């Protein structure tokens, strides 16, 4: 199998993993809406597995890309798919271009969903913090029936006050 074909197959694997990650991100949104912390923990484990798999396949892609660059006499340092597509030595340009566009689109979608999920998590944390502040604020002022200002004024004697 040629390096070009290997690269296309590798990009297809990454695209498949990205689509699966997209589904996980959508599930995460639903779980966040439902406030199901246990399910969120399990989903995060699954998401981490997908991310690690993408990293492994991406490392393979880099190796294949370097091999292909050497075959068509390009510098393998910091070589991108766009640079490969602009070279004359690539035969499957349309397939590579299509995969590149699909991957870019998939990453944009995942990024948008993750930003929404992050906003939802931040709002949930803000709500929890607000409730904690309200609860702690009520307890400290109602614990002994007096506020801290009242405690200070009662404990002060006539000689401690300013003239």
Q: Where are the domains of the chain?
A: 3-147
Position 163 scores a pLDDT of 47
pLDDT in tens, 77-88: 778 888 888 887
pLDDT in tens, 42-78: 999 999 999 999 999 999 999 998 888 888 878 777 7
In contact, 66 and 76? CB cutoff 8 Å: yes
Position 155 scores a pLDDT of 53
> Which pTM does this prediction carry?
0.74
Q: How far is CA 59 from CA 54, 56, 88, in A?
A: 9, 5, 25
């Amino acid at each position: 199998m040629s390096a070009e074909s290997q690269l296309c197959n590798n990009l297809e694997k990454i695209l498949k993993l990205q689509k699966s990650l997209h589904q996980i991100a959508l599930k995460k949104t639903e779980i966040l809406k439902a406030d199901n912390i246990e399910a969120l923990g399990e989903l995060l484990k699954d998401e981490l597995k997908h991310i690690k798999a993408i990293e492994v396949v991406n490392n393979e892609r880099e190796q294949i890309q370097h091999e292909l660059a050497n075959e068509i006499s390009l510098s393998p340092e910091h070589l991108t798919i766009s640079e490969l597509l602009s070279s004359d030595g690539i035969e499957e340009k349309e397939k590579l271009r299509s995969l590149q566009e699909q991957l870019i689109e998939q990453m944009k979608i995942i990024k948008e969903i993750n930003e929404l999920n992050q906003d939802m998590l931040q709002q949930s944390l803000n709500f929890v913090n607000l409730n904690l502040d309200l609860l702690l604020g009520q307890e400290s002022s109602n614990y002994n029936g007096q506020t801290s200002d009242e405690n200070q004024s009662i404990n002060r004697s006539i000689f401690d006050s300013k003239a």
